[in-house]
Structure 1
Amino acid sequence: MSQEESTVGWDAIDHALTTIYGEQEPAHFGTLLSYALGGNDPLDGISVYKSETPVPHWHFVTYGFSELYDKELEDPEESGYGFELTFRLTRNKDAMEPPAWALNLLQNMGRYVFNSGNVFRNGDYLDANGPICLGADTSLTALAFVSDPQLHSMDTPNGHVQFLQMVGITNDELEAMQTWNTLGVLASGEEQIPSYVTDLNRKSLLSDDSIADAIQSGMEHEGSNTGILFVDQLGWSTAKKGLFRKPVSTLTLGAKQAEIIGKLLQGRLLKEKELTLSGPDISIQLKPMEQTTFVSEGDSIKLFLDERTVKELSKLLLPKERTFKLASADWLSVQVLKTTITDDEGTIVKVIG
């Protein structure tokens, strides 16, 4: 960065933090070589503050998703991606340094956004496919994103910036967010997770019967807010007509996501809402209709399902490798494939199905 280059975006974040922490000097972890020049870390820096309320915790704040220096992007309304990430993690009172794994987690979020172009918004969630702290004995295997309770959205000379807080969540909490909505689930368990501080040792919110009942009630009354689900294993084959047999088209899914798709069919189609399954090579749009049929448009499929078919699929979609034909639509079969989960080095850590 040259001496002449503006730091208005960076200064705006500093000012927002000063209003909360006053003269507290944060632990700051900067990046020596920028991502644009071949460095490993996409974020310019991460500041970490000590907070005592509502429980002692580390408060991590990123610098780099927004435009920190001179305005470069054309959109005048938003600064960079329009947000910075925060993360609150329980802290032992005698701890002197924040844990390195949390810094790496935030940089990994940067790599995901910078490489994919996908951005986070209030109410989003992300499956980590394993403990959010590698090697830790924790049930937290996914992340939710919610507006930071202290750092409010702000307008800077480079555009608007929102502070999104990552929250560690369990797999069943993730499924509840998918089949209902993220903010509803988090609000139901707010007493258990004050200020949404992540605690690696906590149990699932759904282990509390009153919270589980509130979440179930929300699902039944409101349905699901998940309109698009990204599916790693997704396929469709349209059978060719034959002289002596009825053509059968096949929907292919991975075992890991089969069950949640079944639940989403109830929370979306039975509530007269559409659901889109987006895979690496194909998109399948599921729509409620009086008759089950489909329309193929290249790598896009529109699959219309009647109520009977939705209910049958919801019961049969389980995390188990198998192929079955539907009684309610004998021209449609479903193939559920095994799902293999690997770590960053490609080592198989789990097989589902």
Structure 2
Amino acid sequence: MSEELTAVGWDAIDQALRQVYSEQEPMHYGTMIPYSLGGQDPLDGISVYKSETPIPHWHFVTYGFSELYEKEFDNQEYSGYGFELTFRLVRNENEEEPPAWALNLLQNMGRYVFNSGNVFRVGDYLDANGPICLDADTQLTALAFTYDPQLAEINTPNGKMEFIQMVGISEDELEAMQTWNTLGVLEAGIEQIPSYITDLTRNSLLQNQEVVAAVEHGMEEDGSNTGFLFVDQLAWEIGKKGWFNKQSNVIQLGAKQAEVISKLLRGRILKDKNLSLVGQQITIQFKADSQVGYREDGQEITISLNRAAVEELSQKLVPQESQFTVSSLAGVSFQILKTHIKNQEGAVVKTIG
């Protein structure tokens, strides 16, 4: 039996796209050497369509996060990771081919998923720590993930899968999504980014006061949907015992994420929701409690805070190198460290704190 006849997952994706683009033949960028055999690109291919609505743009669709051929994953309900990524990018006049950087970005998303095992779901976000298009003069330095407005979930012979659209976002939009929720921020800005089409030249949604008001109202009413935050600079230093006293234990945080952690504490703990900061070696969980204190359990530290402690801590968490205590939290101090942002070559391009 030929590979073409067994590509049942691939055929299901093609069928979904034919319902949108009819007989348009996409530009397809395939992978010559499979990733499993040492190739550089993890995805089997990316198809790109020309769309004219609501504005002219390129519509990218991946092939490879789901099971394109025979069933291999144990989970019978979903095909592969359960999704394929899409990406909509403004198409310039006279532009006849999609830009290569967007294809590379999608392949990088494939490397991230295949190498880490972490998958994308609607409502997720990802900080790129720099322009999503390298060397571009753009404010878009992160990505958000939402539903593709034209492609619904489908059932394939290998299980169901959905099309998750990737959207370029700015640093302050990312912070708003962290402190409220991704879909709420995107919906508030839909007039500025119709169909969530990425435009490298656009300004932040938060320059629009109506969007700002919607985000502030959502944060106040709903709190934050971010229960887990991955923090690069996170450490727990155990205090040393002396002859007459014991130094406090120290929670170390990077300046880059100090401010967003401040907002998350208010958006989670004040709504009786836990917040976990996840580092490479340690997890620090904050939870609401009438009694302030801390508990050590191996690589997990639990910090209990009441409203007054949250208010005090959130005011002191600013992106500036410092060390401080919370008056009601005995035995623990906080240290804010400088954050050095590096480019792909490892050179420091920005220092925060």
Normalised by the length of structure 2, the TM-score is 0.97
**Structure-2 separation of matches of 1:87 and 1:56:** 13
Is 1:293 the equivalent of 2:324? no
Q: Give the aligned partner of residue 27 of structure 2.
A: 27
Q: Give the match for residue 91 of structure 1.
A: 91
- Aligned-partner Cα distance in 2 for 1:251–1:179: 21
Cα offset, 1:323, TM superposition: 1.3
Q: Which residue of 2 aligns with 1:304?
A: 304
Q: Deviations over 1:276-308 (max 9, x none)?
A: 111001111110111211111111111111211
After TM superposition, the runs of 4+ consecutive aligned structure 1 residues lying more than 6 A away are none
SS in 2 for 1:235: strand
Q: CA deviation at 1:139?
A: 0.4
Question: Which residue in the other structure is 2:321 paired with?
Answer: 321
Distance 2:83 2:242 in 1: 55
Q: 1:228 maps to which residue?
A: 228
One-letter code of the match for 2:55? V
Matched, 1:107 2:112: no
For the Cα contact (< 8 Å) 2:65–2:80, is it kept in 1? yes
TM-score normalised over the length of structure 1: 0.97
User: Which residue identity does 1:32 align to in structure 2?
Assistant: M
Contact 1:146 1:165 in 2 (8 A): yes
**SS at 1:98's partner residue?**
coil
Residue 313 of structure 1, CA deviation:
1.0
Q: What corresponds to 1:9 in structure 2?
A: 9
Residue of structure 2 in register with 1:256 after alignment: 256
Q: Deviations over 1:165-198 (max 9, x none)?
A: 0000011100000000001001111111110000
Quote the residue 1:188 is aligned against. 188
Unaligned runs of 5+ in 2: none
User: Could you tell me which residue of structure 2 aligns to residue 168 of structure 1?
Assistant: 168
Aligned-residue offset at 1:2: 5.5
Q: How does 1:16-165 map to 2 (within 5 A)?
A: 16-165=16-165
Given that 1:5 and 1:70 are in contact with CA atoms closer than 8 Å, whether structure 2 keeps it comes out as: no
CA distance in 1, matches of 2:312, 2:331: 14
Paired with 1:209 and 1:158, the residues of 2 have a C-alpha distance of 46
SS, match of residue 132 in structure 1: coil
Deviations 1:25-81 (A, max 9, x none): 111000000100000000000000000000000000000000000111111001111
Contact 1:26/1:47 (8 A) holds in 2: yes
* Alpha-carbon separation, structure 1, partners of 2:3 and 2:133: 38
In the TM superposition, residue 243 of structure 1 has moved relative to its aligned partner by: 4.6
The superposition leaves residues 313-346 of structure 1 with CA deviations (integer Å, 9 ceiling, x where unpaired) of: 1011111112112223243210111112222222
Partners of 2:240 and 2:246 within 8 A in 1: no
In the TM superposition, residue 86 of structure 1 has moved relative to its aligned partner by 0.2
| Corresponding residue number in structure 1 for 2:202 | 202
Conserved in 1, the CA contact under 8 Å of 2:286 and 2:304?
yes
Q: Alpha-carbon deviations, 1:224-251, whole Å to 9, x = none?
A: 0000000111111232554522541211
Write the letter of the residue equivalent to 2:37: L
Separation in 1, partners of 2:246, 2:329:
12
CA distance in 2, matches of 1:4, 1:55: 35
Give 3-state SS (helix, strand or coil) of 1:11's partner: helix
CA contact (8 A) 1:275 1:285 kept: yes
- Matched to 1:34, the amino acid is P
**What residue ranges of structure 1 are gaps of 5+ in the alignment?**
none
Structure 1 stretch 125-134 or stretch 1-10: which is displaced more?
Answer: 1-10
Q: How many residues align?
A: 353
Rounded to whole Å, the distance in 2 between the matches of 1:240 and 1:296 is 15
Give the percent of matched residue pairs that are identical in Structure 1 and Structure 2: 64
